[in-house]
Structure formats: C-alpha cells, structure tokens
C-alpha cells in the first residue's frame, strides 16, 4: 500500500512530490466517494513519506469519523493511524489503539501486519511476536497451512523475523515461513540479527554483501510498490460485454466473443510478465461506468481508444485485482474454478 521510496543511496532519488500526489488523491476521492477509502489511504501514505504526519493523521481521523457507508477495512485504518501517531510522539494513544485492535481480533491480515511491525520498529519484540502469533492462529486454521493464502505470507515471514531477533528456536510456523519464502536467500540468513553488526563495518566487501542481502529481502516488496497503481488490463463479464457490444456494435471488432476476450486478457498479461513488466492487474468494467468515463472525456463510447484509458482510470481508483492469482485461488474470470484449473493452466508455477 505504501508508495515507493529509495532503499539504498546507490539508487536514484525518489522523484515523487509526495505532498502534491497526496493532494491530488484527495481531490480524486472527492470526485469518487465510492472509492474514497482506498484513495485517502494512499494519500495518507504519501503524507507520511513527506513527513507530514499530522496531515496523514487528519485523513485517518476523517475516515474513522466519516458518515456511512461503513469502512471496508476499519481495523486497517486504525492500525495505520496508530503506527503514524507513534512515529510523531503520540505513543500512549498509539498503544491504546493497538490494544483495541488486538482485543477486537479482526480477520484482516493487513491490520495485524501494520500493528506487529509498529511494535517491532519500536523494539517491542515480545509484543510483536505475540501479535504475529495470535493473528496466524486466528486467520490460518491448520487445514489451510499446507497452502497458506498469499495475504497471510507477511504474517508468517514477519513472525520468523521477530523470532530470529529474539533468539527463539525454529517451530512449525518458521518451517512454513521457509516454505513461502520466494527469495534466493534463506530466511535464517535474511533475518540473522548479526547482520546489523555489518552495517558498522569499514570493510567495503562486508558492506556490499550486506547491501546485496537487503536488496534480496526487499525485492518483492519494492516490486509491488514501485508505482502507485498496477498496469491493468480491462475485463468485462459476459453479461456486461453482451450489453456493451449490443449498445455499441462497432466495438465487436475489439471483442469478437467473450471466450476470446478472456483468452486475450490472460495471453496479454503473460506477455507483459515475460517482458519484465511488474505490478500487473485486472480491472472489471461496467457499461454505465464506461459511458460516464467517455462523457467525462467528451468522447463517445464507440471510440475504442478510450478502453485502455478507462482501464487505467479504474486502476487509479483502486479497482485493480493483482495478477496472477495464487494457483489455488479463484480464477480472475469468475468461472468459480481455481486459477490453476482455469486460465492458469500451463502457467509457470
């Protein structure tokens, strides 16, 4: 969820004007109230990166105190608010919010990750370990541990990291962390507390080795955060596509059939992935939404060149679903089958 920021001095200076981007997102949230929660959370993240933490806190307060409809992720908003408050001196309030979240026992992995990492960053290692453990116990029943959902991976890996700092022996959860680790470097090496000592070394070889390890650890996170929004491909459900081509027959050239449309989405995304394009996603359009977008562009829905622009706009509004799904997750096409049994057939594991 956080916009990107440079990891090492060797990389280019972050060109993003975070204040300007946050203000832009606030304006968009005013235009699209149905997406305000996601947009304002992104805005708050930019304010935090600009060290404008009071402005971020005001957004969190506004979301929590706002009128209906209810927030989709209230505990995530509270967790982000607590982490932000603690960073600029409001420790007591942050702790009270964290205690409230843990007591509520929400079923939102992201909220637990934020809370546990806030505790960890302030050297509350035992409390961070307890938070990671209680979250996994609640959210990951034993039957699901052989193939844990992707959204639980940060909890599993974070718990491993804290246990290494505490000097705890490996347990079953740590073995699961090794299983979900996608880095070429083992978690025991990545999370070795002795690595921090190397940062004080004046030996260039030791420092370079540490930089390489840090890059390996952060690689997957930086890839996910390297741009505010994913590269998104437009998807229409069968009913919406039938309505679209019925209303605008010239678009039949773009969409000869629904089956071909779905196949084109998957093949296009695989080509983009093979070319090294990160942050791929799928956005699902609706005819009324597309017509409104065309009107906002002073154009006609028959203009096929609007379709990729429409997809980008939906992605910017937080409507993109990351691609590819886990092979055991439901396929993006809505068939009800798993991705591995549907459009993921033949995809690399």
pLDDT digits (tens, 9 = 90+) for 118-146: 998 888 999 999 999 999 999 999 888 88
How much is the pLDDT for 215?
60
Rounded average pLDDT over 233-238:
94
How much is the pLDDT for 221?
45
How much is the pLDDT for 225?
40
How much is the pLDDT for 199?
54
Model confidence at 222: pLDDT above 70: no
Q: Is the peptide bond before 324 cis (omega within 30 degrees of 0)?
A: yes
How much is the pLDDT for 11?
44
Whether residue 71 is contained in a domain is answered as no
Model confidence at 229: pLDDT above 60: no
Write out the residue range of the structural domain in which residue 315 sits: 231-341
Q: Report the percent of the chain where pLDDT is more than 90.
A: 49
* Token pair recorded at residue 222: 């930086």
How much is the pLDDT for 107?
93
Rounded average pLDDT over 270-274:
88
Contact 281, 315 (CB under 8 A): yes
Whether residue 126 is contained in a domain is answered as no
Cα(191)–Cα(182) distance, rounded to whole angstroms? Answer: 14
Model confidence at 13: pLDDT above 50: no
- The total number of structural domains in the chain stands at 1
Model confidence at 342: pLDDT above 70: yes
Whether residue 332 is contained in a domain is answered as yes
Q: Closest Cα to residue 107, out of 146, 151, 67?
A: 151
Whether residue 305 is contained in a domain is answered as yes
Rounded average pLDDT over 64-92:
90
Rounded average pLDDT over 163-171:
89
Cα(272)–Cα(30) distance, rounded to whole angstroms? Answer: 33
Sorting pLDDT into bands at 50, 70 and 90, what band is 200?
low
Q: Report the percent of the chain where pLDDT is more than 70.
A: 84
Rounded average pLDDT over 83-93:
93
Sorting pLDDT into bands at 50, 70 and 90, what band is 226?
very low
Rounded average pLDDT over 232-252:
94
How much is the pLDDT for 4?
38
How much is the pLDDT for 7?
40
Model confidence at 83: pLDDT above 80: yes
Model confidence at 98: pLDDT above 50: yes
* Token pair recorded at residue 172: 């079953």
Whether residue 244 is contained in a domain is answered as yes
Instruction: Encode the chain in three state secondary structure.
Output: CCCCCCCCCCCCCCCCCHHHHHHHHHHHHHHCHHHHHHHHHHHHHHHHHCCCHHHHHHHHHHHHHCCCCCCCCHHHHHHHHHHHHHHCCCHHHHHHHHHHHHHHCCCCHHHHHHHHHHHHHCCCHHHHHHHHHHHHHHHCCHHHCCCCCHHHHHHHHHHHHHHHHHCCCCCHHHHHHHHHCCCCCCHHHHCCCCHHHHCCCCCHHHHHHHHHHHHHHHHHHHHHHCCCCCEEEEECCHHHHHHHHHHCHHHHHCCCCHHHHHHHHHHHHHHHHHCCCCCEEEEECCHHHHHHHHHHCCCCCCCCCHHHHHHHHHHHCCCCEECCCCCCCECCCCCCCEHHHCCCCCCCC
Query: Edge-to-edge strands of the sheet including 231-235?
Result: 231-235, 280-284, 321-322
How much is the pLDDT for 166?
87
Widest CA span of the chain, in angstroms?
70
Model confidence at 17: pLDDT above 90: no
Whether residue 170 is contained in a domain is answered as no
Rounded average pLDDT over 150-157:
91
How much is the pLDDT for 198?
54
Whether residue 271 is contained in a domain is answered as yes
């Amino acid at each position: 969820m956080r916009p990107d920021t440079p990891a090492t001095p060797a990389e280019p200076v972050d060109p993003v004007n975070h204040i300007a981007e946050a203000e832009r997102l606030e304006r968009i949230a005013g235009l699209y109230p149905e997406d305000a929660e996601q947009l304002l959370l992104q805005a708050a993240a930019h304010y935090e990166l600009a060290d404008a933490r009071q402005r971020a806190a005001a957004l969190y307060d506004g979301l929590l105190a706002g009128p209906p409809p209810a927030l989709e992720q209230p505990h995530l908003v509270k967790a982000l608010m607590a982490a932000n408050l603690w960073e600029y001196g409001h420790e007591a309030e942050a702790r009270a919010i964290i205690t409230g979240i843990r007591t509520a026992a929400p079923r939102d992995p992201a909220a637990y990750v934020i809370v546990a990492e806030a505790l960890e960053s302030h050297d509350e290692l035992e409390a961070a370990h307890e938070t990671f453990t209680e979250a996994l116990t609640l959210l990951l029943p034993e039957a699901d541990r052989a193939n844990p959902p992707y959204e639980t991976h940060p909890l599993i890996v974070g718990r491993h990291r804290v246990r290494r700092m505490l000097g705890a022996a490996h347990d079953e959860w740590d073995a699961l962390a090794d299983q979900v680790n996608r880095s070429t470097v083992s978690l025991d090496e990545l999370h070795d507390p002795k690595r921090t000592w190397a940062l004080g070394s004046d030996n260039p070889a030791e420092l370079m080795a540490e930089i390489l390890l840090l890059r390996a650890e952060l690689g997957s996170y930086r890839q996910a955060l390297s741009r505010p929004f994913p590269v998104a491909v437009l998807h229409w459900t069968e009913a919406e596509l039938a309505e679209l081509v019925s209303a605008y027959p010239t678009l039949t050239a773009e969409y000869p059939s629904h089956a071909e449309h779905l196949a084109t989405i998957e093949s296009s995304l695989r080509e983009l992935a093979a070319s090294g394009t990160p942050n791929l996603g799928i956005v699902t359009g609706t005819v009324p939404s597309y017509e409104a977008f065309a009107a906002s562009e002073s154009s006609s829905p028959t203009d096929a060149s609007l379709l990729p622009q429409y997809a980008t706009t939906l992605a910017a509004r937080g409507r993109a679903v990351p691609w590819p799904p886990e092979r055991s997750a439901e396929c993006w096409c809505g068939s009800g089958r798993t991705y591995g049994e549907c459009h993921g057939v033949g995809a690399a594991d």
